[in-house]
Structure 1
């Protein structure tokens, strides 16, 4: 891939996001660039303008300098605009929609390299889309049911030969919820899924878990010794176990390339589980996933790889 012309990098995320801070620092260190930061919740408290005329287009936000100079965008942690509430719900809904539509249009119209494309990012965040696409890409996927029907859920759980785990669909950012094995007490609470569709899956007895940061074809794979600690069901629960750099079998890499291409993602954080049968099971991909702790644990230059992608169009790290 030919190197891109160096320009500004726009990071769209929360003002206090550790990952945004780390990428900004990496861009300064390795490319001499000061990133443009934007927390979408600052609008409409700040002014925004889009203008189109015979001499082209112009975009501005009163608190963001150089917006039109951005040549790449990390769509890291976008938020709805911070529209203040009023006494009328219908007015609030209208103003929220108008502000979100304006700011999204202002940003999405920037002719830049997007990591990730906002439309692809939104679609790929849907767990059902991920699971179907991973299956078609050749991944082994645990037997799965996603439903809000308590009778369907109970029938699925009782039909499986081993334990079943449950987890939320995860399309809205919120408080952390762990993946858990269904217990007899949980069966009595199944009617509560009516208003909260839930994922039920076969529990995979594991050798280990893998978390892979995908940077446009480059795999930063980390083996997590999850079965030696308290995170045997959900590896996110224990960061005290061993984290070591790893390499994926060629067949798994091929499935991952197919998956990410079909989802239209240049970046993502994937979770795989290596079963006792030696199979690599797909669990999920998060286009906005956490990975700073993986770099801290292993020393792998993941942020440098991402910075290279945003500046040069190629995430390869040569040093």
Structure 2
């Protein structure tokens, strides 16, 4: 085995992230490369410095070696800095902003291949931006209302010819929240959306679901036989059903390519639902989505593809 290289790939994610572990292993096995791992919550417990001088720029974090040698970054799951609290809320906000501004600026200034660009990543996580961009890209979208107006929500639900689902609009960390069909009991709870804008959408009766891992134009599509298990509304709820590699129709691939280009994303995990009418409905794209289980279930070399992108600038896997 070739000697391990260091410092060319940076993985920014939680220390216990299994996806970060899997990519690090793949980089070692496929490219003889030992990546840098960074959990942003370690700052400011650890020291950091950015210096600009006549002979160039240097960046350093006391617990991370080789930042100035980084050629590619997987912006996997960044976190706010973990700043100790004080007795003054105003001071807490100030210190949090200063720490986040320093660490983000230090990292974002690295002239590397970013997967994904942090600005594009942040914008693309906004569900409304996704839906509008997907619509303009030619994707089929279930009719949707996102609102905190109780009367608007009640009117939308009453006007639809079939069932309506509801789901969260934000993407913050927290307990898993499933997509559910609106029931009579839910109608009595509609006033709670006043302080929590909610997504309402036509329920799509499905043949099956698809999860597509997009690696710079390469589609790793997996068919999920969701309708045979408990996840017939939300396919994330059941991993015991069948998972098989699949291919997308050319028209769907073209729309997804347009979507990802417009969002500025190199990488993303896309959820589609194939309706009983044969239409491929776009549900969402998660720039930081989960996909390790798809590789485990199907054997698709998704991590190999991502590693190739970060090291070679091309996610093609020649021996697939």
Say yes or no: TM over 0.5.
yes
Q: Smaller-chain TM-score range?
A: over 0.9
Alpha-carbon displacement from aligned partner over 1:16-55 (angstroms, at most 9, x marks no partner): 0000000000000000000100000000000000000100
Cα distance, 1:173 vs structure 2: 1.8
Cα distance, 1:174 vs structure 2: 1.5
CA distance in 1, matches of 2:104, 2:174: 21
Length-normalised TM-score, structure 2: 0.97
**1:7–1:311 contact (8 Å) kept in structure 2:** no
CA distance in 2, matches of 1:108, 1:7: 16
Matches within 5 A, 1:13-92: 13-92=13-92
**Is 2:302 aligned against 1:302?**
yes
How many correspondences in the alignment? 314
CA distance in 1, matches of 2:7, 2:80: 27
**Is 2:160 aligned against 1:155?**
no
**2:7–2:35 contact (8 Å) kept in structure 1:** no
Deviating above 6 A after TM superposition, structure 1's stretches of 4 or more consecutive aligned residues are none
Cα distance, 1:172 vs structure 2: 1.1
1:3 maps to none
Matches within 5 A, 1:165-204: 165-204=165-204
Cα distance, 1:242 vs structure 2: 0.2
**2:13–2:75 contact (8 Å) kept in structure 1:** yes
2:247 maps to 247
CA distance in 2, matches of 1:180, 1:271: 16
Cα distance, 1:87 vs structure 2: 0.8
CA distance in 1, matches of 2:104, 2:54: 23
Alpha-carbon displacement from aligned partner over 1:217-272 (angstroms, at most 9, x marks no partner): 00000000000000000000000000000000000000000000000000000000
Q: Secondary structure at the match of 2:240?
A: coil
Length-normalised TM-score, structure 1: 0.98
2:142 maps to 142
Alignment gaps of 5+ in structure 2: 1-5
CA distance in 2, matches of 1:121, 1:127: 12
**1:9–1:72 contact (8 Å) kept in structure 2:** yes
Q: Secondary structure at the match of 1:176?
A: coil
User: Over aligned residues, Cα RMSD in angstroms?
Assistant: 0.8
2:11 maps to 11
